[in-house]
């Protein structure tokens, strides 16, 4: 290769080539989930129409939040400029921000611009007073049920853990129809599912003073309930300990489960033309123990800018564009993803297709964050390991609760 072409490649990768319009030509890269790639590509195309000098490259290596976090982390550790935009799960913010891998966005995204966003999504984007992402997709766990099957059996949607278990054993007709599907694989989704049950029994991981309280009777009951569902009452399919969100969604949509715990995105797909459960699905807040309250895990995604990007200005243009109301609406229409802008929960078109959005809005407002901690990944890894060991019968819930506590204490240097 001669010196001229080599120089072009160096300049291009540093994003320094300026097009004939006088604007810098750049391709900005972002890592997302393959599950929603079509919607994102439509956003990329609309963006390039508005800014013909800019292109967005979507890398979609894995559905798992853990895998994508590892990919971003590896890249940041090498101070690599491969990703300009960081599409961040709410739980990554403290870690990425504390390591200095993100650009603070306070000047570009001031308080006044944050007013239309759901408060939990904004709070989850802030670390030590600075904001690092603009919320794009909100999330909170919900319980889906087969309205038709419950009505036929003259059952109301369950409110407590025991009502749910009873309805599962009563309505399931194995092997074609199982009672319950949830995210039982050893990954972040399992922690989200477990926390809803733990909170529903009145327990927690840390108390309000930051003291670790996971080795508790509530944790044993919560994990015991899941173990009952999988192993003792067998209301879940055999493979549930390998299910993530999409496996649950597919099983439910194909009509093989009465109940499903999932994020709200699955709703629109179950209601699409040709879906075997179209018109037969209801959604309620997750169940809880008698006398306690239900709790949804707060999830959600937002876009930030990598400290190592060579295209920070262009990356911001994309963030502004993608998180605007019309584009969030587009992503919702294409992929069923939940907007983060309050105004969209009153949008006529959205309400027409998703009449439960009024209720969902309230669930989102009350959703609870996972432990907000710089070392959350380690905490979650420990939980994932022992929750999973219990579900496959290698540890009792009591052993799992004790081991989670011991290992988290050691990891955080408290022992
Ligand atoms: C959803 C949530 C995210 C959570 C993940 C777990 O994508 O939005 O916060 O970590 O599911 O699988």
The domain segmentation of the chain, as residue ranges, is: 3-139+299-368, 142-297+375-411
Sign of the C-alpha dihedral computed for residues 267, 383, 200 and 230 taken in this order:
positive
Residue 187 CA, closest ligand 1 atom number = 12
Q: In what order do the strands lie in the sheet with 134-140?
A: 54-59, 26-31, 85-89, 298-305, 134-140
Whether the CB of 204 sits within 6 Å of ligand 1: no
Provide the β-strand partners of residue 143. 261, 284
How confident is the model over 161-178, as pLDDT tens digits? 999 999 999 999 999 999
CB of residue 139 inside a 6 A radius of ligand 1: yes
**What's the distance, CA 213 to chain centroid?**
24
Are the CB atoms for 46 and 23 separated by under 8 Å?
no
135 Cβ below 6 A of ligand 1: no
**245 Cα: distance to centroid of ligand 1 (angstroms):** 9
Contact 218, 195 (CB under 8 A): no
With a 6 Å cutoff on the Cβ, whether 89 touches ligand 1 is yes
| Top-confidence residue, 308 or 7 | 308
Phi, psi of 22 (to 5 degrees): 90, -10
Q: Residue 12 is encoded by which pair of tokens?
A: 């291009």
Residues above pLDDT 90, as percent of the chain: 92
Ligand 1 neighbourhood includes 189 CB (under 6 angstroms)? yes
- Which pLDDT score, from 0 to 100, does residue 142 have? 96
Give the H/E segment covering residue 44: helix 37-50
Q: What is the model's pTM?
A: 0.93
DSSP string, 294-343: ---BEEEEEEEEBTT-S-HHHHHHHHHHHTSHHHHHHHHHHH-PBPSBGG
| pLDDT value of residue 359 | 86
* pLDDT tens by residue, 142-156: 999 999 999 999 999
Please say if the pLDDT value at position 57 is more than 90: yes
Q: How far is the CA of 127 from the CAs of 77, 80, 97, 259, 359, in angstroms?
A: 20, 23, 7, 36, 29
CA atoms within 13 A on the CB side of 242: 3
pLDDT at res. 10? 45
Architecture of the domain spanning 142-297+375-411:
3-Layer(aba) Sandwich (3.40)
Would you say the CATH fold of 142-297+375-411 matches that of 3-139+299-368? yes
Q: What distance in angstroms lies between residue 10's CA and the mean position of ligand 1's atoms?
A: 37
**In this structure, which long-range contacts are made by residues 202-209, counting pairs with CB atoms below 8 Å and at least 24 apart in sequence?**
202/289, 202/292, 205/370, 205/371, 205/379, 205/383, 206/371
Burial class (CB in 10 A: 0-12, 13-18, 19+), 33: buried
What's the chain's average pLDDT? Answer: 94
Q: Whose CA is nearest to atom 6 of ligand 1?
A: 189
**To which residue do tokens 């599912």 refer?**
193
Position 13 pLDDT exceeds 70: no
Q: Which atom of ligand 1 is nearest to the CA of 137?
A: 8
- What is the phi/psi pair of residue 27, to 5°? -115, 120
How far apart, in whole angstroms, are the C-alpha atoms of residue 312 and residue 309? Answer: 6
Nearest CA-CA partner of 342 in 145, 167, 121: 121
With 60 as the cut, is the pLDDT of residue 240 above it?
yes
Give the distance (Å) from ligand 1 centre to CA of residue 65: 7
Which overall architecture, per CATH, does domain 3-139+299-368 show? 3-Layer(aba) Sandwich (3.40)
Mean pLDDT (whole number) for 244-267: 97
Determine the pLDDT at residue 313.
97
Pocket test for ligand 1, best of 36, 192, 193 (most atoms within 8 A of CB): 192
Peptide bond into 175 cis (omega under 30): yes
Element at 152 (helix H, strand E): helix 147-152
339-392 pLDDT, tens digit per residue, is 999 999 999 999 998 888 988 999 999 999 999 999 999 999 999 999 999 999
| Ligand 1 atom nearest to 139, measured from its CA | 8
Instruction: Judge if the beta carbon of residue 300 lies within 6 A of ligand 1.
Output: yes
The two structure tokens encoding residue 278: 């179209």
**In angstroms, what is the span from residue 74 Cα to ligand 1's centroid?**
20
Per-residue confidence (pLDDT) for residue 249, from 0 to 100: 97
7 pLDDT above the threshold of 50: no
Helix, strand, coil fractions of the chain, as percent rounded to 5: 50, 15, 35
- For a mutational test of ligand 1's pocket, the pick from 118, 243, 299, 379, i.e. the residue with the most ligand atoms closer than 8 A to its C-beta, is 299
Residue of the CA atom closest to atom 12 of ligand 1 = 189
CA 59 / ligand 1 centre spacing (Å):
18
Q: Does the pLDDT at position 36 exceed 80? A: yes
Rounded distance from Cα 31 to ligand 1 centre (Å) = 15
Q: Which of 16-20, 136-140, 385-389 has the lowest mean pLDDT?
A: 16-20
Model confidence at 205, pLDDT cuts 50, 70, 90, reads very high
* Percent of the chain clearing pLDDT 70 (strictly above): 94
Phi and psi at residue 41, to the nearest 5°: -65, -35
């Amino acid at each position: 290769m001669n010196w001229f072409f080599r120089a072009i490649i160096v300049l291009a990768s540093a994003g320094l080539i300026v097009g004939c319009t006088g604007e810098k030509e750049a391709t900005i890269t972002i890592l997302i989930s393959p599950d929603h790639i079509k919607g994102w590509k439509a956003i990329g195309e609309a963006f390039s129409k508005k800014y013909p000098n800019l292109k967005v490259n979507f890398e979609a290596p894995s559905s798992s939040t853990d895998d994508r976090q590892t990919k971003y982390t590896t890249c940041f550790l090498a101070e690599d400029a491969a990703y300009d935009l960081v599409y961040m799960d709410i739980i990554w913010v403290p870690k990425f921000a504390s390591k200095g891998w993100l650009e603070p966005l306070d000047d570009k995204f001031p308080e006044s611009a944050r007013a239309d966003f759901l408060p939990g999504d904004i709070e989850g984007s802030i670390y030590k007073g600075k904001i690092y992402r603009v919320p794009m997709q909100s999330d909170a766990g919900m319980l889906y049920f087969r309205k038709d099957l419950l009505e036929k059996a003259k059952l109301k949607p369950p409110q407590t853990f025991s009502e749910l278990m009873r309805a599962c054993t009563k309505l399931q007709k194995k092997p074609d129809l199982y009672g319950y599907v949830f995210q039982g694989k050893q990954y972040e989704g399992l922690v989200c599912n477990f926390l809803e049950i733990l909170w529903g029994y009145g327990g927690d991981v840390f108390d309000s003073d930051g003291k670790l309280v996971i080795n508790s009777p509530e944790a044993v009951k919560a994990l015991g309930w899941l173990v009952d569902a999988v192993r003792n009452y067998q209301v879940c399919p055999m493979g549930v300990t390998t299910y993530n969100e999409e496996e649950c969604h597919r099983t439910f949509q194909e009509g093989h489960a009465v109940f499903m715990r999932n994020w709200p995105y699955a709703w629109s797909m179950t209601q699409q033309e040709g879906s075997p459960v179209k018109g037969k699905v209801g959604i309620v807040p997750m169940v809880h123990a008698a006398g306690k309250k239900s709790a949804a895990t707060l999830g959600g995604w937002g876009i930030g800018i990598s400290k190592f990007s060579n295209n920070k200005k262009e990356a911001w243009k994309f963030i502004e564009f993608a998180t605007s109301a019309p584009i969030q609406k587009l992503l919702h229409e294409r992929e069923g993803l939940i907007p983060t802008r309050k105004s969209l929960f009153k949008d006529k078109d959205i309400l027409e297709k998703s009449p439960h959005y009024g209720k969902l809005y309230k669930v989102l407002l009350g959703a609870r964050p996972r432990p907000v901690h710089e070392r959350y990944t380690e905490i979650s890894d420990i939980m994932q390991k022992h929750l999973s060991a219990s579900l496959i019968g290698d540890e009792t819930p009591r052993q799992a609760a004790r081991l989670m506590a011991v290992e988290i204490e050691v990891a955080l240097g408290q022992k």
